[in-house]
Amino acid sequence: MLRDVAEQIWLEQESSSANLKLAQLATTDGLTRLANRRSLDAFLRERTPSSGFSVLLIDIDHFKGFNDALSHQAGDSCLKQIAEVIGSATKDTGGLSARYGGEEFAVVLPGVNEARAVRVADA
């Protein structure tokens, strides 16, 4: 009986761990490891206009040409590096950095005024 209980506990822990990984996969962009569009939409739904927030939209100009000329692997590597910079610049802001689309990123900064948002964007 002790073995059955220990096995049941182990199975519950494995199930919980698998559910946590699945939730993370469902909310994270597989390439950049930033939040995905689904996470961004959920994050925005939780915000109220009265609480105030700033949004940075970042679009990588001429990315298609870069991707076509240098290969999709080079493009993926570029996107990963850009995501790392965006994540680093926004990690202490309490905001959310997300991959919005192919070469588009969004950063939501709750409670951050325009002047501070500009500093984050410059970083």
Q: Return all residues near 111 (Cβ < 8 A) that are at least 6 apart.
A: 51, 52, 53, 94
Q: What is the pLDDT of residue 1?
A: 60
Q: What is the pLDDT of residue 25?
A: 55
> Among 17-21, 42-46, 114-118, where is mean pLDDT lowest?
17-21
> Which are the catalytic amino acids?
103
User: What's the CATH fold of domain 30-122?
Assistant: Alpha-Beta Plaits (3.30.70)
The per-residue pLDDT for range 88-104, each reduced to its tens digit, is 988 888 889 999 989 99
pLDDT of 11 above 90: no
Average pLDDT of every residue of the chain: 86
